[in-house]
Amino acid sequence: MNRNLFKNANLKEIGQLRRYMSIIYDNADFYSKHFVNKTIIYTTKNKKIELTARRDNFMHLCGVAYIDGPRKFFNDALDQKILIKKDGSTFQKLQIMNQFQEMLGPHLRLTGRSNFTYLKFDHSIRTNKSILALALLNNQNYMIPISLLNLKFIHPFPNGEKIIKIESRDLKTGKITILN
């Protein structure tokens, strides 16, 4: 984590974060059930990518960092040790986090490599409507999620190619489930 990109949340920002807590909890649960210990396979007409997410990727999607790690969030909140992005993207991400479940939905597109001011990624999974995108980084044989993007604030954003199939492979059992 590059601490220069973060700052301590002030009392007003802690209050704003509190309002998003149920959304963060719900999406942490969704992320744990549908992404952790699984490989999600996104297929377009011309390409197939595999996304393998870990628990520690989740805090990057929220745009927050914790001094003592994600498991001690409540203590950090009480001690005002929550770090938020200086560029304002923490609250941009939290505004769309309630729609994160769309990342397994029917109306998605796969984009290629893009470079923005503070972010470079190899692919993204984005909604058809310009709502949100999940930025992905190539980690040898699979992709990892590195950021949740609020497309309301990013213009222009690549259109990408329509995703025609989404599968989930359980990393423990190898069982493949068609999601969409």
pLDDT tens digits, residue range 44-67? 999 999 999 988 888 788 777 666
Q: The pTM is what?
A: 0.83
Rg for the chain, CA atoms, rounded: 16
Token representation of residue 78: 């009480």
pLDDT of residue 176: 97
Burial of 84 (0-12, 13-18, 19+ CB in 10 A): buried
* pLDDT confidence tier of residue 80, bands split at 50, 70 and 90: low
* Mean pLDDT over the full length of the chain: 86
Q: What is the pLDDT of residues 9-34, one digit of tens each?
A: 778 887 887 788 888 888 888 998 99
Nearest to 84 by CA among 5, 174, 160: 5
- Start-to-end CA distance of the chain, whole Å, equals 34
pLDDT of residue 82: 67
* Distance between CA atoms of residues 159 and 162, nearest Å: 9
Give the residue extent of every domain in the chain: 3-171
Own/partner contacts of 28-37, CB < 8 Å, gap of 24 or more, are 28/58, 30/100, 30/101, 31/58, 31/61, 31/100, 34/104, 34/168, 35/145, 37/170, 37/171, 37/172
